[in-house]
Structure 1
């Protein structure tokens, strides 16, 4: 049920309303919008999720960054004599920033999984999140990048709908979605969050489907 004020101590950025609690019966009709579930049976329901909406875009930005780095190196060797330390420093900074941003963009594009599923296990009353981690300041790290699945108790989840409006190149742009907060048992203190759906998916309907499944099973 939507409320006029946030229930949680630290609501999601752009908070619009709180959605129904995990064990509160959903109201209204459910609609099969967006992608079909990856899997559904008596044991678990799994939704598709990806944190990278369009592939290939970041890679092109990465190539631009590497070109900037190469040009910076060329200028360092040929165009900036030692008697001009300021110009030498500018070229060095450009080379470093171009190389770092290029590698970061390319790795972000190719390393992010195509699917980071969210699994609702009805038997164990657990939710498993296939969470991908990256390190923006160290694109070469082997340990800071990768998938680290996490699990949460179903009863500790709280869903929040959010919406944000900003100015883009073509005018005013908006984004919306549904985030799931994890709270300490018996409190409204948020200890973790994960995204259920972004602007391209009806997150409110997904949350209602998940609640129906966890309460009544797949036949509901």
Structure 2
């Protein structure tokens, strides 16, 4: 009998454990999203009534629902106020400074240092393009970019707006279509400045894969700027339940108003001060820590957050209202289009 080298069994077990750990720390989808945090259960996995993560809830993101379709709003994931405020504010300052910049440029004798002069001119041009990009994004992004889940036809339609680096180019609105039988879901994680505060934010991502594989063909972000993954687990539970059973086993949710409201925009960062019924609904669907932190940061920075709310209102006023194409309305039986 040949003897197994001393420790060979332990080494093999160690390698197996390492493989398991690698599988647990990586996505099953390929290529893996750079923001990947967690894979979610497959679309046909039954919900567990005892699991808090499997309690279907869309919070404030429902636009419309009937027996065959439901429309999920992504309006809360669109933030235009800070970008528009920065773009307009710096643009005004830039235009006001142009005579002084021109005079300084001439007094610097650019012919003596053509390379430096060219670099400075390109930097100013780059700044102007960036400002135009921010302004156009703030006023041209539609008020909402809804996602339509069609249970009857087992399809998912996503209203997508595709900005380009060139602000002078035509930015298109496209409708992405996903086959529900090939959809997988994952949670993404982004750490950094979110327009409100420095923190970690999570998002729900849907990926369409090639048939019978985990190779991703396309991804859409269904929800972003969320403080805790639990919200996304429950949103995914709602989507799975609807697509398999319809709305009969789902708790009724009253759609949140989507009209352009100055009060709502102005108090976006101050939900504690919004004493309306809408404000109560907002507070009820926010994490306590997030609510307190947002208010604590917002009070000393009111000089920044209040103007951002005003610019949010202006941007929404100038933005277009999304409208589904007639063929999708007919195919899905969507009846709420104005």
Q: Name the TM-score, length of structure 2 as normaliser.
A: 0.57
CA distance, structure 2, for counterparts of residue 60 and residue 17 of structure 1 = 34
Distance 1:59 1:172, change over 3 A: closer
SS at match of 1:11: coil
Counting only pairs closer than 5 Å after superposition, residues 140-155 of structure 1 correspond to structure 2 as 140-142=168-170, 145-155=171-181
Query: Could you say which residue in structure 2 is the equivalent of 1:181?
Result: 207
**Cα shift readout 1:133-157 (whole Å, capped 9, x = no counterpart):** 1002x10112xx1310111100111
CA distance, structure 2, for counterparts of residue 61 and residue 84 of structure 1 = 30
1:35 corresponds, among 42, 48, 60, to: 60
Distance 1:41 1:11, change over 3 A: same
Counting only pairs closer than 5 Å after superposition, residues 41-120 of structure 1 correspond to structure 2 as 41-50=66-75, 53-67=78-92, 69-70=94-95, 73-75=98-100, 77-81=102-106, 83-85=109-111, 86=113, 88-89=117-118, 91-120=120-149
CA distance, structure 2, for counterparts of residue 168 and residue 23 of structure 1 = 33
Is the CA contact (8 Å cut-off) linking 2:38 and 2:188 kept in structure 1?
A: yes
Query: Could you say which residue in structure 2 is the equivalent of 1:22?
Result: 43
1:13 corresponds, among 34, 58, 67, to: 34
Distance 1:168 1:125, change over 3 A: closer
Give the drift of 1:54.
Answer: 3.0
Given the alignment of the two structures, is residue 197 of structure 1 paired with residue 212 of structure 2, yes or no?
Answer: no
State which structure, 1 or 2, has the greater radius of gyration over its C-alpha atoms: 2
CA distance, structure 1, for counterparts of residue 237 and residue 215 of structure 2 = 23
2:161 corresponds, among 124, 132, 141, to: 132
**Cα shift readout 1:40-95 (whole Å, capped 9, x = no counterpart):** 11120111113853332111211244245435642454232373334643552343
Distance 1:133 1:100, change over 3 A: same
Is the CA contact (8 Å cut-off) linking 2:77 and 2:224 kept in structure 1?
A: no
SS at match of 1:9: coil
Is the CA contact (8 Å cut-off) linking 2:157 and 2:175 kept in structure 1?
A: yes
Is the CA contact (8 Å cut-off) linking 1:42 and 1:217 kept in structure 2?
A: yes
Q: How many correspondences in the alignment?
A: 215
CA distance, structure 2, for counterparts of residue 72 and residue 98 of structure 1 = 13
Query: Could you say which residue in structure 1 is the equivalent of 2:236?
Result: 207
SS at match of 1:130: strand
Q: Which structure dedicates a bigger proportion of its chain to strand?
A: 1
Structure 2 unmatched ranges of 5 or more: 1-22, 250-338
CA distance, structure 1, for counterparts of residue 88 and residue 137 of structure 2 = 13
Q: Which structure dedicates a bigger proportion of its chain to helix?
A: 2
CA distance, structure 2, for counterparts of residue 168 and residue 187 of structure 1 = 34
Runs of 4+ more than 4 Å apart:
166-172
Distance 1:32 1:23, change over 3 A: closer
